[in-house]
Structure 1
């Protein structure tokens, strides 16, 4: 074992000891993420965990059958230092989430619990004025009332009303709905809010040493995966979540936002990353071809596949076409805008790249669990891990993920 490995092992042991004396959970996450097929709750959960925080998420809240909350969940709510309820359009359909929310607001009223709400694609002003009587909310609450005690439903309404009076985040108001930026803001706020004892400061110091060692090791090895982060319609949601998930699995992914790239030629660094990676993941959305940078990246991926045998795992993100092989037809209106701006050989190179990748097997986001992005991300991470662990296999994604 070399010196770096010994120091990393010592840091891991020290973190284990320090964790024993700190509160069990820093954050309790109350959410119902499956209702809108969004990856946002999973993205936030992994980002908070990646920041070194102990996060409790009640996974049973996603099941339809179990609507009661047990002692473990109640204990987690009461002992977590910060609670983050995520209110979406269909949160009110879950009795379990409403019961958790009632307990959360009770803890805030009685014990001053810190509550940071996120109103996910919900107009908090309307919610506050109507106090739960928005059409979708009213229908769900009436249904609950017919099934159970009127008093309990009234408690849920009061909890919702109280929550609207707390300053939080409105997802659509943050960077035009870019969820990656919202996640960064939430994580930064949580980290700044938590009061750090000497034990926690020591833990953060150890984390910083571990991070330095990890970065040093990463800098000594080549990038394993190039993930296309270009494109405003994917960079701050699916791409950001996929990046976090890949890194959480210990996979080395190129990040064009890495502070170490400041002062360097970004184009050169991206080209170098594509050239040296083992797997490239382009995320082809309807606006992908509007960017010359994206088209050039795609062309280089295809060239590396031909010359070096690298693997391309495309994701066709909300592409409105009956057949993915017709992707070039979808892109044609964007492609034509570039035709007068680049030489003929470059344009033809881009066309060939689009046609080849469009004919490749990959994931069509809308076909994965009816568009549930968290399931899509999980499948992509599993496939990347499989290919990296079995470099001799070059099978395409499993049939369940084909178009």
Structure 2
């Protein structure tokens, strides 16, 4: 059952298909952190969208995945070491950022064993991924710039850092 919110005006209401949309790089966290997060949310009755590995076969997000992002009340982005090496994750993040700007959606980020500055400044594995993108997508500099911008914006929101057994909130 999806959560439905409404304002004091009876003619204005929001309907969500999902309470939470999970954005993550499957190879990094599907069977560990994100899989456990998904189970915990579902056990608490929170209707959560998690992609099927089959959905990530292409290079662009599918219309059904874009719709799931749009119809989710909250997005949780799990930034892991190789999140930026997935074009799919970056395209998904652009859609999530668009929903923040145009629909006022809430986004929570978890920095899973990565420092937020690594994400925001695109250093270490994030920098390596962008060096590859810039050499391969030299004819699409606008696309690479959108990915960089989305990462920078997302990294500057308040999030949670996960280092092994400890979760620390940032502000």
The correspondence for 1:253, drawn from 37, 44, 48, is 48
What SS does structure 2 have at the residue aligned with 1:246? helix
Rounded to whole Å, the distance in 2 between the matches of 1:229 and 1:356 is: 17
Q: Which residue of 2 aligns with 1:402?
A: 170
Distance 1:285 1:310, change over 3 A: same
Q: Which 10-residue stretch deviates more, 220-229 or 332-341?
A: 220-229
CA distance in 2, matches of 1:365, 1:287: 15
The equivalent residue for 1:75 is none
Match of 1:325 among 107, 117, 121: 117
> How many aligned positions are there?
150
Aligned partner of residue 152 in structure 2, secondary structure: helix
- Secondary structure at 1:314 match in 2: strand
Based on CA coordinates, which of the two structures has the bigger radius of gyration? 1
Matching residue of 1:338: 133
Distance 1:245 1:235 in 2: 14
How many Å apart are 1:284 and its aligned residue? 0.5
CA distance, structure 2, for counterparts of residue 239 and residue 287 of structure 1: 14
Q: What TM-score does the superposition give when structure 2 sets the normalisation length?
A: 0.77
Match of 2:75, SS state, is strand
- Corresponding residue to 2:31 among 236, 242, 251: 236
**1:257–1:402 CA distance, 2 compared to 1 (3 A):** same
2:12 corresponding residue in structure 1: none
SS in 1 for 2:18: coil
Q: 1:333 to 1:221 in 2, by over 3 A?
A: closer
Residue equivalent to 1:283:
78
CA shift, 1:266, in A, is: 7.0
What is aligned with 1:309?
104
> Of residues 91, 112, 116 in structure 2, which corresponds to 1:296?
91
Summarize the alignment of residues 2-401 of structure 1 with structure 2, pairs less than 5 Å apart.
Answer: 222-257=17-52, 267-319=62-114, 321=115, 324-327=116-119, 328-330=121-123, 331-339=126-134, 340-341=136-137, 343-366=140-163, 371-372=164-165, 376=167, 401=169
The offset of 1:336, in angstroms, is 2.0
Post-superposition CA distance 1:61-107 (Å, at most 9, x none):
xxxxxxxxxxxxxxxxxxxxxxxxxxxxxxxxxxxxxxxxxxxxxxx
Counterparts in 2 of 1:268 and 1:230: CA distance versus 1, 3 Å: farther
Asked whether the equivalents of residues 231 and 291 of structure 1 are also in contact (C-alpha less than 8 Å), the reply is no
Tell me the secondary structure at the aligned position of residue 94 of structure 2.
helix
Unaligned runs of 5+ residues in structure 2 are: 3-14
